[in-house]
Amino acid sequence: MSEKVKIGVVGTGAIAQTSHIPIWKKLKHAEIVAVCDVNKNKAQWVAEKFGIRHFFDDPDDLLKIDEIQAVDVCTPTQSHPAVAMSALASGKHVLVEKPMARNFEESQRMVEAAKEDNKLLMVAMNVRFRQDAIVLKSFIKNGELGEIFYAKTGWLQRKERLARQTWFSEAEIAGGGVFMDLGIQMLDVGLWLMGNHKAESVKATTYNKIAQLQVEDSAAAFVKLTNGATLTMEVSWTLLSERDFFYTNLFGTQGGALLNPLRIHKELHGNLVNVTPDREESPTNLYKKSYETEIRHFVECLRGEGELSCSGEEALERMRIIDAVYESAKTGREVTL
């Protein structure tokens, strides 16, 4: 296919302006036709800044443009289901920012709509599109680490980074706190690296000790998978520490691996050998490039050149676990799925 994929972007906030729109503009096989934001002046400003033909304050007006083939949803979480399902019903494919919705029920409706309309629904879990994560996944798929039976992952941010409250800390809009923001990304990359097995049970605790928000500012969870493997997670917006922690550690029957920085060790002839590829990029570059790799992958799938990763179905399993995380934290009990 030589034609460019025509894109409409709904939501022109920070993630759209700093990541999505600049990447769409640089891809040779894609073209942004229109942007939309509830603040029409903002939509106009973004359209003029990036040289985009059309701007609207109502998603329905954007969806009426026949040449648009896919919609990139960058709005607050509360509005994801309505925007995505309207786009799907109008015959557009959808890329939606994480989390796909506020809970499992909303997410399930989105997945069912995509199936009914026979359109692609991808959730933008950019952490799995980091180059170090992709390299690690290739080692695991090739059986280099044997059976992965235990993993732990976390994203702990210093309190200083919580400069001001945004809609991320409003439960009605975001669906939760730090686990919906950071936890879902670490849950996704952990499950993806481990083979996307379903969860059997969840035990979790949430905290609101530092920031005094209406949602949790820290959380820890333990997930048992149906294949017997386990995954532990810890996330925080308010860590009283000198630095942030962002990591995923995997342990298998033939080796182990660490993510950020990438380190892969394999047992060979009774010795543990470092088999990490030589190339190493800075965490900042890995993070920035992950968005480009993610959006480029979506374009390739739209053009029939790849198999969709991070599908709505995969994201739905994450939302099922997140519902269980909040239920377990509320009741103080392990939740069986």
Tell me: do 39 and 69 sit in the same domain.
yes
My answer on whether 132 and 244 are in the same domain is: yes
Half-sphere exposure of 143 (CA within 13 A, CB side): 0
Q: What is the pLDDT of residue 303?
A: 94
User: H or E segment at 112?
Assistant: helix 104-117
Residues 58 and 187 in one domain: no
Domain that residue 257 falls in: 128-293+316-336
pLDDT of res. 163: 59
Give buried/exposed letters for 188-209 (b at 16+ CB in 10 A, else e): bbbbbbbeebebebbbbebbbe
End position of a domain, from candidates 104, 124, 144: 124
27 and 117 assigned to the same domain: yes
Residue ending a domain, among 94, 124, 154, is: 124
The answer to whether residues 132 and 119 belong to one domain is no
Question: At residue 318, what is the residue type?
Answer: R
221/205 Cα distance (integer angstroms): 6
Residue 279 lies in a domain: yes
Same domain, 154 and 169: yes
DSSP-derived secondary structure letter, 260: T
Cα distance between residue 54 and residue 158, in whole Å: 40
Same domain, 224 and 249: yes
Q: How far is CA 106 from CA 72, 99, 241, 292, in A?
A: 18, 11, 36, 27
Residue 106 lies in a domain: yes
- List per-residue pLDDT tens for the chain, 337 residues long: 458 999 999 999 999 999 999 999 999 999 999 999 999 999 999 999 999 999 999 999 999 999 999 999 999 999 999 999 999 999 999 999 999 999 999 999 999 999 999 999 999 999 999 999 999 999 999 999 999 999 999 999 998 777 556 888 899 999 999 999 999 999 999 999 999 999 999 999 999 988 888 899 999 999 999 999 999 999 999 999 999 999 999 999 999 999 999 999 999 998 999 999 987 788 888 988 999 999 999 999 999 999 999 999 999 999 999 999 999 999 999 999 9
CATH of the domain at 258: 3.30.360.10
Give the C-alpha separation, 220 to 228, whole Å: 20
Residues 238 and 201 in one domain: yes
Q: Kindly state whether residue 301 falls inside one of the protein's structural domains.
A: no
Question: Does a structural domain hold residue 165?
Answer: yes
Domain annotation covers residue 45: yes
Domain boundary among 124, 158, 190: 124
163's CB contacts (< 8 A; 6+ apart) are none
280 lies in some domain: yes
Do 104 and 209 reside in the same domain of the chain? Answer: no
Is 245 domain-assigned?
A: yes
Does 190 lie in the same domain as 108? Answer: no
Q: Are residues 146 and 269 in the same domain?
A: yes
Locus of tokens 């009283």: 240
Number of domains in the chain: 2
Domain check: are 218 and 322 in the same one? yes
Please report whether residue 303 resides in a domain. no
